[in-house]
Amino acid sequence: MRHVISVHDFSVEEIVEVLDRAEDMVRIAQGQATSDLLRGRVLACIFFEPSTRTRLSFETAMNRLGGGVIGFAGTEATSVVKGETLADTIRMVSGYADAVVLRHPREGAAKLATEFSSVPVINAGDGAGQHPTQTMLDLFTIRTETGRLEGLNISMVGDLRYGRTVHSLAIALAKFGNTINLVSPEGLEMPSEVTSYLRNMGMLGVACHSPEEVISNTDILYATRIQKERFPDLVEYEKVAGLYRVDPDLLSRGPEGMIVMHPLPRVNEITPEVDAMPQAKYFVQAFNGVPVRMALLSMVIGGK
Ligand code: NCD
């Protein structure tokens, strides 16, 4: 039984296998071919936190492979409001489905769920912890858009403290031999476990507070949202909200061929004028969630 909890659990070879398989899934993801690979199988998507892309792309992935989906988006209509524990919810749901996709506000929730689940658990985001399936689709996007997955300079910009997507992605990119620059407001720096990992791998680039400092040496600008919901004090949020803005002026100072990614949702981090520029890859990145999650589901549920 293969759980998908953290990028630490995946070797470079295993990640490449997911990406290769995702490439084979693209035509099915686009609706240009059909598949019944997972016919008769059921996926549970249980989301204790808001989501648009992650949940819908998992559901689409399962539907496109001929499987079925159960689950909930928000706990209002579930027994969680009656006080049911995560352990009991997982015990029960894992009896109804062949895999469980879990998003939860608490860091470590997905790992905990594996103790109670009789089927594979896929971490769709655990608080400020990790978001490994987002990382796979980010890597897929980087590979398809730049043609490679090593020797790149990636500048992560924004809330590196609470942003789970960058925690997972930084670790994975370092494994592949890419240099990571870390740009955050003061107080929202990358957690020390991740920074130490990058340093030990020899893949830590510049850590600073201004995108201007790294832009000329950036192949991929990875912008992120300030994670308002994780701030203990909203006054602190107000101080940093809107501090960074990716706009045509900033991009004009980047090298030829630079691309801009963002896990979305964006709030004000990227101005709408950027959307029509060739650097903008965040919507294709969001689409890539479908073939990549199809690949993962086929491996986790299909057992192949
Ligand atoms: C991210 C998340 O939920 O961590 N969204 C996503 O899954 N694409 C990023 C965010 O919420 O800012």
- Give, for 192, the enclosing helix (H) or strand (E): helix 192-200
Ligand 1: atom nearest CA of 289 is 8
Q: Closest Cα to atom 1, ligand 1: which residue?
A: 263
Q: How far apart are CA 158 and CA 167, in angstroms?
A: 12
**How many CB atoms neighbour CB 132 within 10 A?**
29
Q: Given this model, what pLDDT does residue 290 score?
A: 98
Q: How far apart are CA 11 and CA 91, in angstroms?
A: 29
Contact 93, 100 (CB under 8 A): yes
Backbone angles phi, psi at 74, to 5 degrees: 100, 145
Q: Given this model, what pLDDT does residue 204 score?
A: 98
What is the 262 CA–ligand 1 centroid distance (Å)? Answer: 9
Q: Given this model, what pLDDT does residue 304 score?
A: 44
Q: Given this model, what pLDDT does residue 70 score?
A: 98
Q: Which residues line ligand 1 (CB under 6 A)?
A: 53-54, 125, 131, 134, 164-165, 225, 263-264
- Would you please indicate which residues are annotated as catalytic (active-site) residues? 53-54, 82, 103, 131
Sheet holding 153-157, edge to edge: 204-208, 179-183, 153-157, 220-223, 259-261
pTM listed for this prediction: 0.97
Q: Closest Cα to atom 11, ligand 1: which residue?
A: 265
Q: Given this model, what pLDDT does residue 76 score?
A: 87
Q: How far apart are CA 78 and CA 174, in angstroms?
A: 40
pLDDT below 70 — which residues of the chain?
A: 303-304
For residue range 57-109, what is the model confidence (pLDDT) as tens digits? 999 999 999 999 999 999 988 889 899 999 999 999 999 999 999 999 999 99
Backbone angles phi, psi at 104, to 5 degrees: -150, 145
Best of 123, 131, 293 for a ligand 1 pocket test (most atoms within 8 Å of beta carbon): 131
